[in-house]
Amino acid sequence: MNGNGYRVGFVAGPSTASSGPDVLLLPELEYVKKYRIGQKVCLLSARRTVPISSQGSQRISARVSCPVFELASGERIMLADRNLKEIPAGITGVIEETDRGVRWQWHSKLAEFERSTEADPVAVADEIEDSWKGRFSFRAEESHENGQVAPGNEGLRPPQIGALYAIGSHWSVSSEEIATVVMPTGTGKTETMLCSVVHYRRGPTLVIVPNNRLRWQTFRKFRSLGLLRKLGLVDEDIHNPIVSVVTKEPNCAEDLSIFEGANVVIGVMASLGVKDVAEFRPQIAAAVKSLFVDEAHHVSSDTWSEFRSHFSRHQVVQFTATPFRLDNKLVDGRVIFSYSLAAAQRDGYFKKINFVPVFEIEPEDADQAIATAAVAALRADLRAGYTHLLMARCNRISKGEALKNIYQRLAPEMNPIVVDSDMSEAGISAALAQLRAGTSKIIVCVNMLGEGFDLPELKIAALHDIHKSLPVLLQFTGRFTRSAASNIHEATVVANIADQKVSDRLERIYSESADWNVLLSEQSSNAAKEHAELVEFLRESQSLIGEDDVAGLRISKNILRPKFSTIVYRCKSFTPKSFQNAIPPAVIVHAAWLNPKANLLFFVVRREDPVKWGRGKIVVDRLWHLFVLYHDAEAGLLHVNSSDKDSVHEDLARAVGAQERIRGEDVFRSLGRINRLIFSNIGVRKHGRRNMSFAMYTGADVRQALTQTETGDATKSNLDGRGWEAGRFVFPGCSAKGRVWERSQGSIPQLVRWCSPVGRKLIDETIDSAQILGNVLIPREVEGAFPAEGVLSVEWPPELLKVSDERVFVLKGDRQVATAFCEWTFDEEASSATELAFRLTSAIEDLNEDIRLRFDAERGYRFVGGSDLKIKNGAMERPLVDYLYDYPLVVRYLDLTELEGDILLEQNNPAEITLSERALVPWEWPADKVDITAESIWKDGAERKNSVQAYVAAHYFDEFDFIFDDDDAGEAADLICIKEEDEHINVLLLHCKFSSKPKEGGRVKDAVEVSSQAVRSAVWRGSFDRLHRHIRAREKVAGHRSSAAKRYLKGDLQRLLGIAKSAKVKRIAFDIAIVQPGIGRSRLTPDQRMVLGAAQTFLKQTVDVDLQVICSP
């Protein structure tokens, strides 16, 4: 320490400063000032070897002399073995030799720098920045076709040049708008920051990073200007910046002096973003002029975004490899440059990735298989002469130790080690030192070594716990694809493709034939594109007014998620900036944005009224509302969405150009093309001589309301219900005043996509609102007798069908059976007008229970029987009959009316149910190949190769990739057939039934049961993931098969999992077919036609599927 309290530069080196008779090895010369919360550093001179002009000695006391070396520059450097009390005259610098090496004891350049910075630190920093003017060169690297760069051809990479020009362009036109730069891991983000600081010289820059490791890595880069000199981008003698690094939280104003006189300040959010530092953030922002955010996908978190909000007047650039997040929070900021992963691979910055899949269902076996494949890949690379290393990744510390033991057994010579979050920083550093030195070649990593870690020799990745999100996977993979080291080759990733717990967008990546080089870049580009489009929408949404400040509250347009509703006006021209003409004086526009490209205006208002329970004006009732106005220019419509439902906002609509509100009967067109529509409530206005009164009807009273509207005694006011549209279950609502809604919520662009088709329905004159009401299902309370109509199907209540059938169990004593293996049937013989009998059966347990539905004088109805049966759904467990009272079975009749308890849902004006002739597909059933009276392939453990199911499976064998025998209680279908095409996946559910007699005929019984199965299978439409999990669960159950028999008739579990992964990104083409050789097309009776027609009509109205009936000629 010198007299001013500063430590001079120190670097470990040889035992003597002399490295030969003619040269001298000089240590780093560094200015360092310590602060309570960190340190300020300036590297004045790097470690270097310099030529000696002459050598002599000079006395430091009467008896002691020290060697002195005169350099070609004229400097005179003394070597001392002790601390000098006085510096001899004429000496430029003193190097002290210690047992740890050599260090500067004193240097005139350092002394002068200390004096200057003590006198005026800001002036010194400004002088350094001014000295950079004109010293930066946009020198591009020149690489060979193999991606190698020859000595002398070094320079900036294409992504770095592109990013630098983008930053300059952005700052020249919109310096205060947040900018985002997207560059894959390993393409040079930090060097791009360095270049921006030196070339653009925008004043003190604060660099925020997410963790301690990245903080020190970034600090080392800025301290020496990284590779800028080596790449020829700056002169050798250019001055390094003064860099402050913050390591602790500031707790007083004096701590902020570390910012004063720094060109660059580096900190982590853990030090600067905590609540205790909140009072100092305005001062921190005032101390710098620009902000760089590294790993900017963190900015959507509350801590990061709140910190960044103090830099609204600064030049802010965010750098990230992944601008999208697992939680779908927006990483805002205009994307000014995006260098894709595909471009990085094309330009040679990422090595090729070889994906090695293993397939193991059991986790214990999977870890062994992954480790075996990864070690084999590592040994092959080492034999080829590459200096590769292996990282095994997992999520839990306990598993990390277990994996270390596996690798120790497989490759003891590789000296496997573990790093986890419980280890100290010193312990982690020691482990990594072994890895870098090559004494260990395998490291088991427990969720560590993420952002900021860089070791190009890591080339084998063993994913024992695979990444569940694309951003994390891209960050991780970037560590293994870097091409920065000389003796490295292609990367290898090993993963278990049987692991299904991955996000939808990663399904294609973790599949057997996945080409990671294509898919990673494709997924990365798609995700980045989606993010950029949303950011661009918000960026194009210009603020119309300065945000009104109330109690320091600011509203970000990024967080707005309106509920889906609209009031539609006819509107030829849109003048959104006139909206304020319609805002009442008592309402304050807090913030407003206009997106001219999207013809969209959205704004937030507040109203402040005195509270009713007190006097004075200090306490007010503050009410906030969001408005979204969207002009569909092509349709000539204006959509007004608002959280304020007390008004139709006609003044606002007219202020921006609307002519007429669409109301009355035209609004009910919004319910058009919705099948099996059920109203949960109807509001009507009753006509009287002198007035009109309003009434709301729900449940069975809905029938009365519709009768009043049809007879003219009342007019419809509002309707709310549920139904099926284009194969999707929807919850629409509308009112005569003009409002249309649905039970959904989303971003503003999503609201716009919902509004457009709704508005066009309202002006579609082909939709007759009177016919809509004629086709709805009306609830009616049944009293005295149940319908005499034939029963088509019996199903679990809809509330239960929404839950995975592997999670819901029927309990009988100490046994439990998943509803996936249970089935309800109607017992016609045991039923009567006052009692309906059902049977609950199972494929895996002796379950054959009699449950009955009866009328009850007090409760309306009740279920009886099955006294020892319970139902379990998660933590809920209760008697089955009690559950069915609250959530009754759905009994569907042949006329497509539905009974739930004592409520019958019947069509208001039922149409005649017919069967399309096109649905009938006659087959030949040769007696020498098929016995049409034998249904199942298996019966009582014996295989029947001449059964109906076997014959049908053989027919479709060459047409499909996968055929599964699901026959048994609880089946999705008797046969499930799946084929993967290039653009979609075909799914065919085949419901097979034997003929009750050797010849086809007019037997209704032959049609009823198989039609019931077809109707129940509608629940599988639109949920391939649920169907695939159903198949996996059913595969373990023999049912009436031989215990050795497999349900897979074609394909296997691995093929199913591959298709399931593809199903996440491919369209599903879904078909249902009935197979009943006992039905003859030429001998079809009216009763058979009605049963089959009911099934066909129901499937078309609900899941939009055209039923096929495979029958006899």
Higher-confidence position of 633 and 778: 633
Residue 432: how many CA atoms within 13 Å on its side-chain side? Answer: 16
Note whether 329 and 214 are same-domain residues. yes
Chain position carrying tokens 């001013």: 4
Higher-confidence position of 225 and 1062: 225
Burial of 284 (0-12, 13-18, 19+ CB in 10 A): buried
We report the CATH number of the domain holding residue 466 as 3.40.50.300
Does residue 532 belong to any structural domain of this protein?
no
Lowest model confidence (mean pLDDT) among 178-187, 542-551, 889-898: 542-551
773-816 pLDDT tens trace: 766 777 888 888 999 999 999 999 877 776 766 678 899 988 88
Q: Region 481-503: what's the mean pLDDT?
A: 65
Higher-confidence position of 503 and 58: 58
Distance CA 578, CA 593 (A): 13
Q: Region 712-740: what's the mean pLDDT?
A: 79
CB 777 within 8 A of CB 906: yes
Does residue 355 belong to any structural domain of this protein?
yes
Instruction: Answer whether residue 691 shows pLDDT above 60.
Output: no
Please report which confidence band the pLDDT of residue 471 belongs to, taking 50, 70 and 90 as the band edges.
Answer: very low
Higher-confidence position of 1071 and 997: 1071
Distance CA 34, CA 41 (A): 9
Q: Which two tokens stand for residue 1112?
A: 């006899």
pLDDT of residue 986: 95
What is residue 55's three-state secondary structure? Answer: strand
Does residue 345 belong to any structural domain of this protein?
no
Instruction: Answer whether residue 1 shows pLDDT above 50.
Output: no
Note whether 320 and 175 are same-domain residues. yes
Q: Which two tokens stand for residue 730?
A: 């929807």
Note whether 364 and 494 are same-domain residues. yes
Note whether 298 and 401 are same-domain residues. no
Number of H helices, E strands in the chain: 25, 58
Distance CA 292, CA 677 (A): 55
Note whether 651 and 715 are same-domain residues. no
* Domain-ending residue, one of 907, 929, 961: 907
Q: Which of 924, 1055, 910 is nearest to 979 (CA)?
A: 1055
Residues with Cβ within 8 Å of 809's Cβ and at least 6 positions away in sequence, in order, are 816, 817, 818, 819, 871, 872, 873
- Give the 3-state secondary structure percentages of the chain, helix then strand then coil, rounded to 5: 30, 30, 40
* Domain-ending residue, one of 779, 802, 819: 779
Please report which confidence band the pLDDT of residue 697 belongs to, taking 50, 70 and 90 as the band edges.
Answer: low
* Domain-ending residue, one of 779, 809, 838: 779
Sheet holding 808-812, edge to edge: 815-818, 808-812, 869-873, 876-879
Per-chain mean pLDDT for the chain? 83
Note whether 823 and 932 are same-domain residues. no
Does residue 534 belong to any structural domain of this protein?
no
Distance CA 846, CA 676 (A): 37
Does residue 432 belong to any structural domain of this protein?
yes
The residues that bridge with 1101 in the sheet, in sequence order, are: none
Whether pTM > 0.85 for this model: the answer is no
Please report which confidence band the pLDDT of residue 17 belongs to, taking 50, 70 and 90 as the band edges.
Answer: very low
Instruction: Answer whether residue 840 shows pLDDT above 60.
Output: yes
Note whether 796 and 768 are same-domain residues. no
What is residue 117's three-state secondary structure? Answer: helix
Highest mean pLDDT among 64-78, 293-307, 552-566: 64-78
Burial of 396 (0-12, 13-18, 19+ CB in 10 A): middle
Distance CA 395, CA 408 (A): 19
CB 751 within 8 A of CB 564: yes
Q: Which two tokens stand for residue 555?
A: 């509203």
Q: Which helix (H) or strand (E) holds 719?
A: strand 714-725
Distance CA 303, CA 273 (A): 6
pLDDT of residue 23: 86
Note whether 569 and 643 are same-domain residues. yes
**Between the CA of residue 715 and those of 190, 286, 339, 467, 767, what are the distances in Å?**
69, 64, 60, 57, 19
Give me the domain span that covers residue 879. Answer: 782-907
Number of domains, the chain:
7
pLDDT of residue 539: 67
Q: Which two tokens stand for residue 368?
A: 């062994």
| DSSP characters over 537-595 | HHHHSEE-SPPPPBTTB---GGG---EEEEEEEE-SS--GGGGGGGS-TTEEEEEEEEE
Q: Region 281-287: what's the mean pLDDT?
A: 92
Note whether 609 and 681 are same-domain residues. no
What is residue 622's three-state secondary structure? Answer: strand
Note whether 1011 and 942 are same-domain residues. yes
Distance CA 505, CA 270 (A): 31
The amino acid that residue 1060 corresponds to is A
Higher-confidence position of 447 and 116: 116
Report the b/e string of 692-725 with b at 16+ CB within 10 A. Answer: eeeeebeebebbebbebbeeeebebbbbbbbbbe
Terminal C-alpha separation, the chain? 104
The residues that bridge with 493 in the sheet, in sequence order, are: 355, 461
pLDDT of residue 436: 86
Distance CA 333, CA 319 (A): 10
We report the CATH number of the domain holding residue 1010 as 3.40.91
Chain position carrying tokens 């989303």: 746
Residues with Cβ within 8 Å of 738's Cβ and at least 6 positions away in sequence, in order, are 567, 568, 648, 661, 662, 663, 667
Chain position carrying tokens 């004043």: 203
Note whether 292 and 359 are same-domain residues. no
The amino acid that residue 720 corresponds to is D
Please report which confidence band the pLDDT of residue 832 belongs to, taking 50, 70 and 90 as the band edges.
Answer: very high
Read off the DSSP letter of residue 913.
P
* Range list of β-strands (E), 611-654: 620-632, 637-642
Does residue 274 belong to any structural domain of this protein?
yes
Instruction: Answer whether residue 504 shows pLDDT above 90.
Output: no
Q: Region 987-1006: what's the mean pLDDT?
A: 86
Does residue 723 belong to any structural domain of this protein?
yes
> Can you say how many angstroms the Cα of residue 26 is from the centroid of all Cα atoms in its chain?
53
Note whether 149 and 275 are same-domain residues. yes
Q: Which two tokens stand for residue 557?
A: 């347009």
Does residue 502 belong to any structural domain of this protein?
yes
CB 982 within 8 A of CB 1065: no
